Amino acid sequence: MKELYEIGIVFRGFVLVSHVFKKIEKKDSLKNTDKDLRGAFISAINIFAKNAFNNLSLEYLESNNILFIFNAFEIHASDSNQKETIILYGLIDKKKKDTDKFVKKFLQKIEPISLLFISRYNNKDFSELNQFEPFQNEIKEFPYA
């Protein structure tokens, strides 16, 4: 697979778990991005897409050199009566020209991670973030190639 920078899971604006495969090189001296800021952005852009475009789910954003891929699915938290959106995201180096084809392929490859997360954490208390730490190894060891 292309250069995979990071994969993570966001719920209610917070990154529950993520794994950095390779750091994104920065051209300036800015400090590292706060993962809570990243989680809030992912949630906000997903809510915007759903509300502005009649439940349309955003699949990706692209910049000059990074592809930001989203896979929204639903999970039930123990403190809620209904299922809520949870988002698996991937940050990938954008080198190929056929972005749509690559995004579709990537979403197919990461679907088992989404399903594993749902099976393991459905109906759990999502305020206890420590419980998600072991899942970082699942992300790290999953074959993305």
Q: pLDDT tens for residues 61-82?
A: 888 888 899 999 999 999 999 9
Q: What pLDDT was estimated at residue 28?
A: 53
Given a cut of 70, whether residue 38 has pLDDT beyond it is: yes
Instruction: Tell whether the torsion through CA atoms of 127, 133, 138 and 141 is positive or negative.
Output: positive
Map out the domains of the chain as residue ranges: 4-141
pTM: 0.84
Q: What pLDDT was estimated at residue 31?
A: 54
Q: What pLDDT was estimated at residue 122?
A: 95
The average pLDDT across 41-59 equals 78
Task: Give the number of residues written for the chain.
Answer: 145
Q: Alpha-carbon distance 135 to 96, whole Å?
A: 30
What single-letter DSSP state applies at residue 124?
A: B
Q: What pLDDT was estimated at residue 77?
A: 93
Q: Which fold has domain 4-141?
A: Beta-Lactamase (3.30.450)
Give 114-120 contacts, CB < 8 A, sequence gap 24+: 114/71, 114/73, 114/88, 117/9, 117/75, 117/86, 117/88, 118/73, 118/75
